[in-house]
Amino acid sequence: MAQQNLPMLSKNDGFRIQHQSFNCYFDFTAFTVKIKSILHIQALKETNVFIFDAYSVNIFNIYVKRSFKICSVISWAYDEFTHSVTVYFDKFCNSMGDLVIEILYSALKEGPSLLWRKDSMSKMVCFSCGSPYNNRSIFISHDRPDAEHTWEAEITVPSEYTVLMSGEANSISESLYTKTFRFKSTIATPISTLAIALGIFGTVSVNNWCKIYGPAMLLSKIHLSTLSYINQSLEEIQKLLGPIPFSQWDIVIVPRCFSNLGFSSPYLAIVSPSTVIGKGLVSKISHEAIHLWYGCSVGLCNWNEDWFTEGIATYFEEYIHKIVLKKLGVQDYQEIAQIRKYMILKRYFDECSNEGTELDRKYIHFLTKESGDYVADGLAYSRSFSQYHYVTGYLIFDKLVCQIGSENFVKFVRTFAENNASRSVLAGDFFQGIKNLYDVPEDLYEIESSRQLMQIHKKVLNELNIKKVIDRILRCLSDKKKRKMADLSKLSNQYESEPLCYLLDMILDWNVNKIRCHSQLDSLVESCKSENGEVRHRICEVILKYDLKRHCDFITEFLGDFQSLGVYVYNEMWLSAKHWQKHLCRKVYNQLIDEYDHSTKLMLQDIMK
């Protein structure tokens, strides 16, 4: 649909932004941001019309300076539908001389680029949420992958607040009631890579260049084993890909409404509590760290090729996870790695099935640089909840490794990142380099049907004797005298949730009549309350399938704590014939409606319409 396309009207303009500065004041009472943006322009052709990308902003005034003289602006127009600000002034510009455009405006609370929410200690925070609208509702600029420029920012906040941003921290100055944080980027980057987080944060150090920020209450819940895992994974990533491309990397924990598990940018990663708190999905930190090389340092010329950077990050997330588990002495690390691969393939199978068709084969088409006035489906909020582009890229790289070997693949990935640092590339550039060095088949970019992949990998699991891991769990679960399940918390350590997920998938595949004693399921539900989101998601599915209404509080808690994963549970409840499930669906939605982010709210409204 047309409204799902992301407009890019600035694509047609004959000028280039060389440098941009922002002076921002964040008002935590009105939930708005007052901004003065100064753009240093190079005109590439004679023009008196300048178009910028913007959305959900209130513009106060615009000034244009040419060779240090103010030129009169005849008019300017802001168009919400086309996401554009058009500036007209009285004289034509060519490539000679300096041109500066100054825009005074405010970013509105309802703008989709930022979220204003309360944290776990009821303190207000504001943060970038990885919106399909990118940063258009806070930074008026050129928002397209090939529009790269340097920038600097001054961010003023109440004195108790800390500001984190995807730039090099420059200085901090204080007055009686406010603090001003200064950041800069001397590397030209697209404006879409900027991220910001503001809150009353504590901090925990991972190493000398990585810290975790968040509410003190949440930081106190991070296990030492989690910090050890993160530090070990960052060390292993640098061994594979080279030194970190940026001087520091801050990780900030934002409220649970964040619909992405993680969102990485230069110098800063924004993550949900579910990644690092308790038995978190901690391997996702590795995924976001890999984006420092592929996604931040090496960018994309075409946003529709996100399968390329997400595929590399997903492949190395699994690669690093296996290495770290082995170094930490985790039992059955090889079997766990294979179960994780099986779960990736299962997601691919499920998403293909959700599309209503079983794809026979999927072929990756390499694209050219972005062209035209929009990005097709760029505003489709459903993409925030799809794993398809992650898994598609992962399967391509997994197939490539089978052809050229793991060592050659890692070596090429590192060399490509070094040779293309601070540049935007096409996926075709990467694979052309592979073809130049290695003999790869023409069908390399074809993915077999999801059903065929599942069958192939089930054979691999059987060959690895994965049954011994499941049998070990089942033996612990069995209690013939009491005929109920033992405490699952005794079966897993911080990182061994994968066998539990696999076991729960088995239970979900069973016929309802196979479960003779519901007390077994009751014990299973009770023992998984402290597990990570993947396990608890499957427990919710067990509750729904076996009609365990007495455990609706478990579902309610899950839908609050894991709001993006909860979308899938909402869908199952809403399609259910059980009255209590639909009632619970509507009840929890009404309780959390003011907390959800934009994408989650739209997705749930679509489910329950």
The full DSSP string for 123-158 is: -EEEEE---TTTTTTT--B--STT-EEEEEEEEEEE
* pLDDT the model gives residue 423: 93
| Residue 183 belongs to domain with CATH number | 2.60.40.1730
Higher pLDDT, 382 or 200: 200
242 and 354 belong to one structural domain: no
pLDDT band at 489 (very low <50, low <70, confident <90, very high): very low
222 and 355 belong to one structural domain: no
Structural domain ending residue among the three candidates 233, 264, 292: 292
Higher pLDDT, 167 or 532: 167
Query: Residue 82 corresponds to which tokens in the numbers above?
Result: 């086309």
Structural domain ending residue among the three candidates 423, 456, 489: 456
Q: CB count, 10 Å around CB of 372?
A: 10
Mean pLDDT of 138-161: 95
CA distance 409 to 430: 11
249 and 386 belong to one structural domain: no
514 and 416 belong to one structural domain: no
Higher pLDDT, 7 or 35: 35
List the single range of 53-57, 358-362, 429-433 with lowest mean pLDDT. Answer: 358-362
The answer to whether residues 196 and 66 touch, using CB atoms and an 8 Å cutoff, is no
Query: Residue 446 corresponds to which tokens in the numbers above?
Result: 């074809």
> Could you give the number of structural domains in the chain?
4
Residues 6+ apart with CB under 8 A from 121: 200, 215, 216, 217
Query: Residue 314 corresponds to which tokens in the numbers above?
Result: 């997903």
Structural domain ending residue among the three candidates 160, 188, 216: 188
| Residue 269 belongs to domain with CATH number | 3.30.2010.30
pLDDT of 451 higher than 80:
no
The answer to whether residues 11 and 373 touch, using CB atoms and an 8 Å cutoff, is yes
CA distance 556 to 591: 10
Residue 222 domain flag: yes
pLDDT band at 497 (very low <50, low <70, confident <90, very high): confident
Query: Residue 537 corresponds to which tokens in the numbers above?
Result: 């998601």
395 and 506 belong to one structural domain: no
524: domain range? Answer: 465-607
pLDDT band at 1 (very low <50, low <70, confident <90, very high): very low
484 and 528 belong to one structural domain: yes
481 and 584 belong to one structural domain: yes
List the single range of 103-112, 197-206, 385-394 with lowest mean pLDDT. Answer: 385-394
Residue 359 domain flag: yes
Q: Which residue has the tokens 């694209």?
A: 367
Radius of gyration of the chain (CA): 25
The answer to whether residues 13 and 47 touch, using CB atoms and an 8 Å cutoff, is yes
* pLDDT the model gives residue 7: 87
* pLDDT the model gives residue 332: 76
pLDDT of 553 higher than 90:
yes
Q: Which residues pair with 156 in a beta bridge?
A: 25, 180
Query: Residue 551 corresponds to which tokens in the numbers above?
Result: 């455990």
pLDDT of 545 higher than 60:
yes
Residue 196 domain flag: no
pLDDT of 4 higher than 90:
no
Rounded to the nearest 10 degrees, the angle between the axes of helix 498-509 and helix 333-354 is: 50
Residue 193 domain flag: no
Residue 234 domain flag: yes
Amino acid at 142: H
Beta strand 15-27 with 202-207 is unpaired
The continuous run of DSSP H or E covering 236 comes out as: helix 224-241
281 and 176 belong to one structural domain: no
| Residue 312 belongs to domain with CATH number | 1.10.390.10
The answer to whether residues 307 and 364 touch, using CB atoms and an 8 Å cutoff, is yes
CA distance 342 to 360: 19
180 and 288 belong to one structural domain: no
CA distance 134 to 394: 24
Higher pLDDT, 275 or 46: 275
* pLDDT the model gives residue 565: 86
pLDDT of 429 higher than 90:
yes
Residues 6+ apart with CB under 8 A from 254: 115, 117, 119, 125, 127, 197, 199, 214, 270, 271, 272
Residue 2 domain flag: no
Residue 297 domain flag: no
118 and 221 belong to one structural domain: no
The answer to whether residues 33 and 403 touch, using CB atoms and an 8 Å cutoff, is no
DSSP secondary structure letter of residue 368: -
| Residue 580 belongs to domain with CATH number | 1.25.40
184 and 215 belong to one structural domain: no
- Binning the chain into helix, strand and coil, the percentages to the nearest 5 are 40, 25, 30
Closest CA to 104 of 62, 64, 145, 70: 62
138 and 263 belong to one structural domain: no
Residue 585 domain flag: yes
pLDDT of 529 higher than 80:
no
* Mean pLDDT of the residues in the chain: 85
